[in-house]
Chains A and B, each alone.
Chain A
Amino acid sequence: MREKMVLYFPASVVEQPLTYSLIKEYNLMVNILKANINPKMEGRIVAEISGKKEDFEAGLDFLRSRGVKTFPLEQEIVWVEERCTHCGACSVICPAGALVMERPEMVVRFKGEKCIICEHCITACPSRAMEVRY
């Protein structure tokens, strides 16, 4: 399986090479899309993780046992549909094909699974229908 995940690292583990374990011990492929550490030393990694289902689940269990919080990516960038005017300005800005204009209906759709959290849509959307919820 292949899924984009957001991983939150408490300050106590931020200096441990946990991603290494995911690769080496759980045989997972980890494609880091985004990573940062805040002033409180808490870390956040957005990564696409792929591998066998049992490895994937064991790997995430391992992370959680070390205090890492794991969330599927869709919960992070949110399309607030009632604010969306369906103009489509976002569709040429989103580099991942997650925000698309459906034709011939001419309505905007957000495909969360394709989102890479680049956040370009946040300020590109004139009616501010895209929100970051970390």
Chain B
Amino acid sequence: MTKKTYEEINEKIRSGAAVVVTAEEVISLVKERGIEETAAYVDVVTTGTFGPMCSSGAFFNFGHPKPRMRMSKVYLNGVEAYAGIAAVDAYLGATQLPETDPANKSFPGHFNYGGGHVLEDLVAGKEVFLDAYSYGTDCYPRKSYQKAIKLEDIPYAVLYNPRNAYQNYNVGVNLSDRTLYTYMGILKPNLGNANYSTAGQLSPLFNDPYYRTIGMGTKIFLGGGVGYVSWFGTQHAPEAPRGENGVPLSPAGTLAVIGDLKQMSPKWLRGISFLGYGVSLMVGLGIPIPILDEEILKYTAVSDEEIFAPIVDYSQSYPQGLGEVLGRVSYAQLKSGQITLGGKVIPTASLSSYAGARQIATILKEWIQKGEFFLTKPAFTLPRSNEGIDYKRSVGEEIL
């Protein structure tokens, strides 16, 4: 019976003796050696995901110009950052559009630039134009401030994403006879394609379905740098229906995460545009799972064949909030390039990058192997039931 503690695993990382594998590699390892032996052998399983995560953004403090200013309107490259907090603080959200963007007035809008792109430009070291306005006060007399700034000039910049790393997500399809432009990408009419968006067997929360090791304070790979899980995310819904293996059958857990923007890279924070929908940010996120016992190891060995996603119609069911599921398919089927629904073969595409997820899990594995990254024991793990999560929704409703 394998039992390990965080301290023991960190000691092995320190001495270079820790065995670290990715959530992909552990699958074949368990097939070869079985649960017991692999649990004793492996210390850490690394996961990864690199996909669109709209609920992302960054807190900034710009420092005071002279004379001082209470910035009440803040724009970065024309994209407004929320400034209803302290004098020179602001939060830039990934999906914010410049006020000049025509959005969907000419449908489908192109959405070539927005909050996510500003974040990418900043971490790429590019100059961004700060444009700030104020009504002026006795203590903060300045009313206007404009300056081209780089991330290195900003005293404080922290990525704070209220909802990332969704544990499972819908497969979007279109039953109607017109093309749909959604946050699930372009959905062609009459089941022309099926789009999904998770990394399946590599995705963090699929590998620890009951959040035995993930919670507030878990140290993670975030946007190319080091971050932490800060809370459970918005819409965290642990009571979603689950399969026998514990894996949710519909969107369930989510993470709120935080990290120093200055450590991050444009490779893993990527501004993106969804035709007819808007802008967003692709976030690279990876979580190491300590193999504290055999059960945790067993969960990390889950494979794409054993993870199922709900197929949802984005012409009616989703926009109208009807909660209907057309069927469920495994990630193995989705990744094969086609699924069958009602006798019709439908080509599939992902919005989340599996190659990116694999790379993140590998980078995180290397950080741990080199003794540069240690595991943290969370202050509390993510809630496993809705009890204590203070948000209201109708009983039995699946969040889709």
Contacts and interface: CB of A to CB of B under 8 A. Distances in A.
Interface string A64-98: 00000000000000000000011111111100000
B274 A93 contact: no
Interface string B321-347: 000000000000001110000000001
Nearest to A102: B355
Contact of B186 (A86, A87, A93, A101): A93
A92 B272 contact: no
B112 A87 contact: no
Interface in B348-371: 348-356, 358
Scoring B112, B185, B335, B336 by chain A CB atoms within 10 A of each residue's CB, the highest score goes to B185
A103 interface: yes
Contacts of B353: 85-88
B139 to A, nearest CB: 44
A124 B187 CA distance: 11
B237 to A, nearest CB: 25
A118 interface: no
A103 B337 contact: yes
Interface string A94-130: 0000000101011100000000000000011011100
Contact of A126 (B188, B282, B355): B282
B275 interface: yes
A89 B273 contact: no
Contacts, number: 74
Given A126-B282, A127-B272, 11 more contacts: A85-B270, A86-B355, A87-B51, A87-B356, A89-B350, A93-B193, A101-B349, A103-B336, A123-B108, A123-B273, A127-B271
B204 interface: no
Contacts of B193: 92-93
Interface of B: 50-52, 108, 110, 112, 185-186, 188, 192-193, 195, 270-275, 280, 282, 335-337, 347-356, 358
Contact of B356 (A85, A103, A105): A85
A123 B52 CA distance: 16
A85 B351 CA distance: 9
Nearest to A91: B349
Interface residues of A, number: 19
B76 to A, nearest CB: 19
A92 B188 contact: yes
Contacts of B337: 91, 101, 103
Nearest to A83: B270
Nearest to A124: B186
Contacts of B275: 123-124
Given A85-B270, A89-B195, A106-B354, A126 B349 contact: no
A105 B112 CA distance: 29
Contact of B110 (A85, A101, A123): A123
A106 B353 CA distance: 8
B258 to A, nearest CB: 23
A65 B173 CA distance: 52
Nearest to B355: A86
A121 to B, nearest CB: 11
A106 B270 CA distance: 19
A106 B110 contact: no
Nearest to A107: B355
A87 B335 contact: no
B274 A87 contact: no
B155 to A, nearest CB: 30
A128 B347 contact: no
27 contacts: A85-B356, A87-B349, A87-B350, A87-B352, A87-B356, A89-B185, A90-B349, A91-B347, A91-B349, A92-B188, A93-B186, A93-B349, A101-B337, A106-B335, A106-B354, A106-B355, A107-B355, A124-B275, A126-B52, A126-B273, A126-B280, A126-B282, A127-B271, A127-B273, A127-B282, A128-B272, A128-B273
Nearest to A106: B354
A94 to B, nearest CB: 10
A88 to B, nearest CB: 5
Given A124-B185, A127-B282, A89 B335 contact: no
A93 B194 CA distance: 11
A89 B273 CA distance: 12
A105 B24 CA distance: 13
A87 B51 CA distance: 8
Contacts of B270: 85, 127
A103 B108 CA distance: 31
Given A126-B52, A126-B272, A126-B351, A103 B282 contact: no
Contacts of B282: 85, 87, 126-127
